[in-house]
Chain A
Amino acid sequence: SQTIHQWPATLVQPVGSPLSLECTVEGTSNPNLYWYRQAAGRGLQLLFYSVGIGQISSEVPQNLSASRPQDRQFILSSKKLLLSDSGFYLCAWSRGSSSYNEQFFGPGTRLTVL
């Protein structure tokens, strides 16, 4: 069976500090990977998606970036955090070869920028 991991679970960072969130998927190959942000009381905002190693598409211009150094690893980064970067960051995967688009979410990272 497939499993998706995210870490850290919670993070408190000062404004202007760097960020690195990691997501890994087990039990599948060549998944599509996604980063979402969910602000308090808000819907899911797609930030980045990736269909393969080194292939990243950005949905929203911002001070965040993403990388996919390995098939089942997806990293979200920032050089300098803003207060508005606070939120619940969710990584998700879907079967790359499937036309049915079911996405499965990791447990999330709750980021607070002070």
Chain B
Amino acid sequence: QKEVEQNSGPLSVPEGAIASLNCTYSDRGSQSFFWYRQYSGKSPELIMSIYSNGDKEDGRFTAQLNKASQYVSLLIRDSQPSDSATYLCAVDAPFAGGTSYGKLTFGQGTILTVHP
């Protein structure tokens, strides 16, 4: 069974700080990794995709991937109260001589609260 584990929350950081969200996955063949943000009562919104080892930066967000350690993280710099949400890590099902049909396995999510 493919598993995606996220650091248990909730995570609380002061405004302006760096929030660090972590995720590990069990299937070594996974190739695509995603972070979604979900505000309370709303649907998940894709905020970062990463496919290669290393860092990928987009504004205040940085995704980090280490396939050898099966670890992916999301850093949010200069955290704002508007960043308060649940963050979901998602990992693809690896190709196995065919296609994954785009299926993703989601972690349980980490609740982030940014307090003024």
Contact = CB atoms under 8 A, between A and B. Distances in A.
Interface of A: 32, 34, 42-44, 46, 49, 51, 57, 90, 94-96, 98-108, 110
A91 to B, nearest CB: 9
A49 B44 contact: no
Contacts of A42: 108
B104 A103 contact: yes
A108 B43 contact: yes
B32 A106 contact: no
A68 to B, nearest CB: 13
B103 A49 contact: yes
B106 A43 contact: yes
A102 B109 contact: no
B44 A105 contact: yes
A57 to B, nearest CB: 8
Please tell me the size bucket of the interface on B: 20 to 34
Contacts of B103: 34, 46, 49, 101
Given A43-B88, A102-B49, A90 B106 contact: no
19 contacts: A42-B108, A43-B88, A43-B106, A43-B107, A43-B108, A44-B44, A46-B104, A51-B101, A94-B102, A100-B32, A100-B51, A101-B92, A102-B32, A102-B46, A102-B49, A103-B34, A103-B90, A105-B36, A105-B44
Contact of A102 (B31, B34, B108): B34
Nearest to B93: A101
A108 B45 CA distance: 12
